[in-house]
């Protein structure tokens, strides 16, 4: 199924869009709160943080495997819902081909890293997606 959109349902796509809407409405409320409190410096820093995270997330669009993009986007949404800044290095992986087992493994690893970040109070999580015949996700730093 690598790269195929056939396994996606309309509900999957709607769930992702709902997640984005919820996250960005929360971000707007935080920015508005800073502005109302006269803390423009904090609002600017928050906007810069959001911009960095959006730039990091946009890199996954370079992966040609749509199903892997889906797995990673779900991870980004889950991290954001838990107030964790997630950055996944995917450089050089534009043409990787994955198996069903790879998708499941990456999703499980990603969820494990996010759970660990939540449990330990981390605000940032930096990961690297590797492909050397087999897909692997590792923590950086």
pTM across the whole model: 0.74
29: its two tokens: 């409320």
| Most confidently modeled range among 10-19, 105-114, 127-136 | 105-114
Which residue bears the tokens 């069903």?
A: 100
Instruction: Tell me whether residue 3 is in a domain.
Output: no
Alpha carbon distance, N-terminus to C-terminus of the chain: 33
Q: What confidence tier does 5 reach under pLDDT thresholds 50, 70, 90?
A: very low
CA distances to 75, 112, 116, 141 from 78, rounded to whole Å, are: 5, 11, 13, 21
Query: Which domain range does residue 34 map to?
Result: 10-139
**Number of structural domains, the chain?**
1
**8-state DSSP, 133:** S
Q: Which helix (H) or strand (E) holds 132?
A: none
Token pair recorded at residue 132: 């050397």
pLDDT at 30: 94
Least confident of 55-69, 74-88, 109-123: 55-69
- Name the 3-class secondary structure at 49: helix
Question: Does residue 5 form part of some domain?
Answer: no
Q: Answer yes or no: is 114 within a domain.
A: yes
- What is the greatest pairwise CA distance in the chain? 53
- Copy the structure tokens of residue 121: 């109070």
CA neighbor of 72 nearest in space, from 81, 84, 63:
63
Assigned domain for 1 exists: no
């Amino acid at each position: 199924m690598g790269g195929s959109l056939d396994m996606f349902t309309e509900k999957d796509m709607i769930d992702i869009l709902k997640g984005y809407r919820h996250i960005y409405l929360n971000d707007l409320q935080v920015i508005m709160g800073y502005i109302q409190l006269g803390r423009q410096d904090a609002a600017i820093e928050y906007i810069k943080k959001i911009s960095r995270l959006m730039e990091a997330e946009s890199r996954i669009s370079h992966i040609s495997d749509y199903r892997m993009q889906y797995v990673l986007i779900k991870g980004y949404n889950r991290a954001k819902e838990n107030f964790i800044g997630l950055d996944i290095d995917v450089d050089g992986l534009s043409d990787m081909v994955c198996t069903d087992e790879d998708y499941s493994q990456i999703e499980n690893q990603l969820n494990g890293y996010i759970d660990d970040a939540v449990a330990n109070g981390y605000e940032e999580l930096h990961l690297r997606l590797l492909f050397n015949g087999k897909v692997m996700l590792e923590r950086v730093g």
